[in-house]
Amino acid sequence: MNDPYQNAGDYSPSEPFDMAVPLTSGGRRLDQVLAELLPQHSRNRLQGWIRDGLLTLDGVTVTEPKRKLAGGEQLALLLPDATPSEEIPEDIPLQAVFEDESILVLNKPAGLVVHPGSGNRQGTLLNALLHHVPGSAALPRAGIVHRLDKDTSGLMVVAKTLEAQTDLVRQLQARTVKRQYLALVAGRLERSGGVDVPIGRHPVQRIKMAVVPESRGGKAALTYYRPLLLFPGCTYVECTLETGRTHQIRVHMAHIGHPLVGDPVYGKRDPRLPVFARQALHATRLALLHPLTGQRMQWEAPPPEDMRQLLEDLGYC
């Protein structure tokens, strides 16, 4: 998973930041050493700034992140400041599960788009964060580090500082962020298991994702599932993500013949099942290491009213 906030075009230069390369770093790569000297920034972000000519080595601009160092050189980085977001702050209600000076954990409702895009420039989670979180305009994507689909409900974590954002992105890369979902899938699924097949953009229908070989651009994706309740024609399952690909659970469950109930993209309407207006998917549990303290933290959010009603309609009380 690459750092989604590495584009130096999101920043404007400020005052140079001077530092010396440790003598013990001779023979090592420039980007590796710089990441150790500036741990609040990801290596991908620093690589982008190097390529954009924002770093000098003994007074000479260098643009090659892999350049080997001798040790003892002087570095000067024209340390960027995030420019204010062009998006409009909006007073959209947010359900905070936890908040401190570093992170905000939210229970996102179904129907809320996370980030502005084509046809959704306003009314998004990002617009709401710009209103509710002071200083979020100075962060890439207002501190958002991962997404939920518009019609998926549940827990998300948002960074409130650049240091927290960098740390959370690294945790996602290292898979120390644990995410569990509740879903209702078509068909009877009687055994636990896992789906370990790569996911990429659909080769024909570009708005969809699909199982795509890595040789054709697919990225490794792993989902574990565990059946919780069996109903006529469908199964209530718990899914655990080991990776975070777009539409991962939806694609993986459809791939094994159990698409999510209500999924308009990867499933089909089954007349035997109650009508559900969205994919029946809820991010119920989130665990991570706190970016500031390193403490392991976990939160849980029960499924929203529409999913509880769906289960009742199926006979669960």
Which residues are the active-site residues?
149
* Residue 129 and residue 114 in contact, taking contact as beta carbons nearer than 8 Å: no
3-state DSSP assignment of residue 234: strand
For the chain, how many helices (H) and strands (E)? 6, 15
Supply φ then ψ for residue 99, to 5 degrees.
Answer: -155, 135
The pair of structure tokens assigned to 263 is 């999924």
CA distance 173 to 313: 39
* Beta strands per DSSP E along 68-147: 74-82, 96-99, 103-108
3-state DSSP assignment of residue 174: helix
CA atoms in the 13 A half-sphere facing the CB of 35: 17
Q: Which residue has the tokens 């501190």?
A: 143
